[in-house]
Amino acid sequence: GQSLEQPSEVTAVEGAIVQINCTYQTSGFYGLSWYQQHDGGAPTFLSYNALDGLEETGRFSSFLSRSDSYGYLLLQELQMKDSASYFCAVRGLRNTPLVFGKGTRLSVIA
């Protein structure tokens, strides 16, 4: 089976940078994804990593180290609207479902 661990809560100041870590255990590995979910809303896709390294998408970047079974989501120039829950999700094998972590609740304060 698969399991993921990420911090339950993170607080950061508007304009700052925050990193949300995710460690995973899987039988097989196809890739790691990140999703954002605002209160009352649906999860929305942010990024994914299938290979080691950093992927950048605007203010958001995601990093993967397959040898360490570790990834992180980096949010730069934090804005109040970034306050949300962030989930890492792993696909263990091709065509298997995405398995989500329990989520990290990010609070951005002024």
Partner 1 sequence: EAEVAQSPRYKITEKSQAVAFWCDPISGHATLYWYRQILGQGPELLVQFQDESVVDDSQLPKDRFSAERLKGVDSTLKIQPAELGDSAMYLCASSLEGTGFEAFFGQGTRLTVV
| Binding site residues, partner 1, CB under 8 A | 30-31, 33, 41-45, 48, 50, 87, 89, 91, 94-103
Taking the least distance from each CB to partner 1, the nearer of 14 and 56 is: 56
Block residue for tokens 């994804």: 33
3-state secondary structure 49-78: ECCCEEEEECCEEEEEECCCCEEEEEECCC
Taking Cα atoms as reference points, which of 57, 68, 97 lies closest to residue 5? 68
Taking the least distance from each CB to partner 1, the nearer of 38 and 59 is: 38
Shortest approach of partner 1 to residue 15 CB, angstroms?
28
Shortest approach of partner 1 to residue 86 CB, angstroms?
10
